[in-house]
């Protein structure tokens, strides 16, 4: 499903975070949203599934999301938040079952239970099915939340820093899983990410946010350049090409002020 943002703007009170964002995101792509701390990456992601009420228009497959019911949005858009804080006791199985909510009434069907088991297996989480979510490590919790989003069978998957609490091995495992889902099901993945090398390696499109606007957007080879890294992050970096993908070696931060 294609997602299109037209002149999207958002402010927290008087503080403008997004200003006139117009971008087109195509199905079958992994789109990385990058930019400095506070640039508005999480805010942009929260607008796409209407957690936040924005100005402007967001179209999912040509439908204005402001005209859709929340259940309709949940059947199309899965969301993995940055913070997985949980207060009540819940098993991993039930947590992933929550992803089936847009499809079920007050009780789950055999089909839903099978779907949850299939996803737990896919993410290598079956052995944790009966464990309390709150007692898992940060990385395990992150995988469970990704499993919950996949249980929604979304056409658009929004991931807010999906690999931030994962070790190197689990980062690769999750990113490869996401890559294979995109290829198999032609879904659109939009993820905010700080690691530019990870973005360059896995993303088809990188959107750089800075000062409420899209600073630049395009394929990694066009976006990950020393000039862009300097102007967006204030960092002098070398960019090398490895297996046709750019990777950056940050050298030093440019000193600001007197
Ligand atoms: N609930 C909130 N109330 C007020 N301001 C907020 C709120 N959430 C975020 N902000 C502010 O909005 C701006 C954008 O925040 P956002 O979390 O979208 O940025 P980000 O690019 O995801 O940042 P980071 O890379 O640090 O996670 C920041 O200045 C932040 O302080």
pLDDT at 45 over 70: yes
Cα–ligand 1 centroid distance for 41 (angstroms): 8
Please list, residue by residue across 140-154, b when 16 or more beta carbons sit within 10 angstroms of its beta carbon and e when fewer do: bbbbbbbbbbbbbbb
Q: What is the pLDDT of residue 100?
A: 85
CA-closest candidate to residue 113, choices 104, 102, 124: 104
Q: How far is the CA of 10 from the centre of ligand 1 (A)?
A: 11
Residue 258, domain member (yes or no):
no
Query: Mutation test of ligand 1: which of 8, 9, 16, 40 has the most ligand atoms closer than 8 Å to its C-beta?
Result: 40
- Given the DSSP bridges, would you call strands 245-253 and 235-242 parallel, antiparallel or unpaired? antiparallel
Residue found by looking up tokens 């805010």 in the block: 43
The answer to whether residue 141 is domain-embedded is: yes
Domain count, the chain: 1
Say if 182 falls within a structural domain. yes
Specify if 208 maps to a domain.
yes
Cα separation, 72 vs 196, in Å, equals: 33
Calculate mean pLDDT across residues 74-103: 85
Domain assignment of residue 209, yes or no? yes
Distance (Å, whole) CA 21 – CA 10: 10
Domain that includes residue 99, residue range: 3-253
Report pTM: 0.92
Residue 23, domain member (yes or no): yes
State the distance from the centre of ligand 1 to the C-alpha of 34, rounded, in angstroms: 13
Q: Which atom of ligand 1 is nearest to the CA of 161?
A: 27
Q: What is the CATH number of the domain that holds 128?
A: 3.40.50.300
Which residues have any ligand 1 atom within 6 Å of their CB? Answer: 12, 17, 35, 37-43, 192
CA 188 to chain centre: 10
Q: What is the pLDDT of residues 130-144, one digit of tens each?
A: 999 999 887 888 889
pLDDT above 80 (res 193): yes
Q: For 194, which DSSP code?
A: S
Q: Which of 14-23, 60-69, 133-142, 226-235 has the lowest mean pLDDT?
A: 133-142
When mean pLDDT is compared across 9-13, 38-42, 53-57, 77-81, the lowest value belongs to: 77-81
Q: 58, 106 in Cβ contact below 8 A?
A: no
Is there a domain that residue 81 lies in? yes
CA 151 to chain centre: 16
Indicate whether 85 belongs to any domain.
yes
Instruction: Indicate the range of 42-46, 73-77, 85-89 predicted with least confidence.
Output: 85-89
Residues 190, 3 contacting (CB under 8 angstroms): yes
Among residues 3, 102, 100, which one has the least CA distance to residue 47?
3
> What is the 130 CA–ligand 1 centroid distance (Å)?
35
pLDDT tens, residue by residue, 157-190: 999 998 887 888 888 888 988 898 899 889 999 9
């Amino acid at each position: 499903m294609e997602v299109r943002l037209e002149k999207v703007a958002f402010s927290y009170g008087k503080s403008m975070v997004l200003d006139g964002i117009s971008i087109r995101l195509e199905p079958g792509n992994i789109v990385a949203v990058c930019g400095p701390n506070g640039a508005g990456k999480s805010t942009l992601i929260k607008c796409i599934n209407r957690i936040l009420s924005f100005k402007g228009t967001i179209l999912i497959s040509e439908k204005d999301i402001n005209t859709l019911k929340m259940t309709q949005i949940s059947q199309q858009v899965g969301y993995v938040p940055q913070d997985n804080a949980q207060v009540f006791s819940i098993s991993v199985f039930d947590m992933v079952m929550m992803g089936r909510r847009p499809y079920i009434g007050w009780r789950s069907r055999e089909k839903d239970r099978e779907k949850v088991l299939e996803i737990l297996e896919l993410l290598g989480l079956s052995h944790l099915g009966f464990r309390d979510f709150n007692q898992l490590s940060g990385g395990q919790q992150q995988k469970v939340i990704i499993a919950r989003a996949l249980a929604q069978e979304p056409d658009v998957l929004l991931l807010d820093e999906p690999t931030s609490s994962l070790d190197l091995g689990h980062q690769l495992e999750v990113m490869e899983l996401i890559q294979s889902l995109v290829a198999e099901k032609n879904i659109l993945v939009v993820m905010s990410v700080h690691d530019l090398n990870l973005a360059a390696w896995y993303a088809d499109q990188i959107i750089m946010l800075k000062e409420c606007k899209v600073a630049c957007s395009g394929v990694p080879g066009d976006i990950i350049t020393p000039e862009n890294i300097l102007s967006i992050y204030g960092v002098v970096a070398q960019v090398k090409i490895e297996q046709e993908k750019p990777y950056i070696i940050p050298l030093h931060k440019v000193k600001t002020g007197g």
